[in-house]
Amino acid sequence: MNKLHAFGDSFTWGSELGDAIDANLPRNVVRHKKRMKDIHSPFFEIPYYSLKSWGALYSTHNGMDYKCHANPGNSNNTIFRSFLDELHNISNNDIVILNWTWISRWDFFDLNDSEWQTMSPTSNSGFESMYFKYFQSELWDKLESLKVIALTHHILKKNNIKFISTCIDALLLDSTFHCPTYIEELQKSINDDIIWFENKGFLEWAKTNNYDIGENGHPLEDAHIAAFNYIKDNHEFT
């Protein structure tokens, strides 16, 4: 069976949807459960990604096996690394969904734990507070996200893999501020490949259309159904 591979953060994972039992798992638990089979079986009383997200609905509509590689809190660099990790499992008969996240999330490699860590403006540890106070900038955020998105699209096209690429953060293509020539050129290189929901990111679009939003800020089932229909009507692969 052909597969639909979905990459992203909590909006792709399906946080706060009814069948996503708990969206706030430690990353080591998320990694562990991914190795288990039949995760949606009632025998496994552990949290897992939703099958009610618009990506999962799209895979069912197309009769495809759904493979969700998203995790809550992912950065764009994490999404990029996850994509490269799975690339050998993706054929040109599959479809890839890339739901790029907030550009302000930033990754670093923790030498103490020997693993990648993601920082975000909502974190409050001392190191993260220092980074966002002294080092983070919108220009840096744009450059790093645009680079990984452009490279991901290039790899997909080179391998003749069909893909749908969306973004939650409108700052990615904003040209009002922090847009020197090198940013503008990168924006041009990905602009035609990014799908917006009526010129908005998924969250902003859901709020504008008064779809239900969970307590933790994630669009709920009606928004995902509407997003599925929007993608289906505008980007049907046959």
CA–CA dist 201, 150 (Å, integer): 18
Res 121: pLDDT: 87
Q: Which of 160, 161, 167, 165 is nearest to 204 (CA)?
A: 167
CA–CA dist 3, 1 (Å, integer): 6
Decide if pLDDT at 126 tops 80: no
Res 129: pLDDT: 83
224 alpha carbon, distance to own chain's centre: 14
Res 237: pLDDT: 60
Per-residue model confidence as pLDDT tens digits over 7-30: 999 999 999 998 876 545 544 444
pLDDT band at 57 (very low <50, low <70, confident <90, very high): very high
CATH architecture of 3-102+142-234: 3-Layer(aba) Sandwich (3.40)
Check residues 22 and 142 and name the one with the higher pLDDT.
142
Decide if pLDDT at 45 tops 60: no
Check residues 207 and 25 and name the one with the higher pLDDT.
207
Q: Which helix (H) or strand (E) holds 222?
A: helix 221-234
In the three-class reduction of DSSP (H, G, I as helix; E, B as strand; rest coil), residue 144 is classed as helix
pLDDT-above-70 percentage for the chain: 87
CA–CA dist 220, 89 (Å, integer): 30
Res 34: pLDDT: 42
DSSP code at position 22: -
Please give the average per-residue pLDDT across 41-57, as a whole number. 73
Decide if pLDDT at 211 tops 90: yes
Please give the average per-residue pLDDT across 137-156, as a whole number. 98
Domain residue spans in the chain?
A: 3-102+142-234
Res 4: pLDDT: 97
Res 21: pLDDT: 60
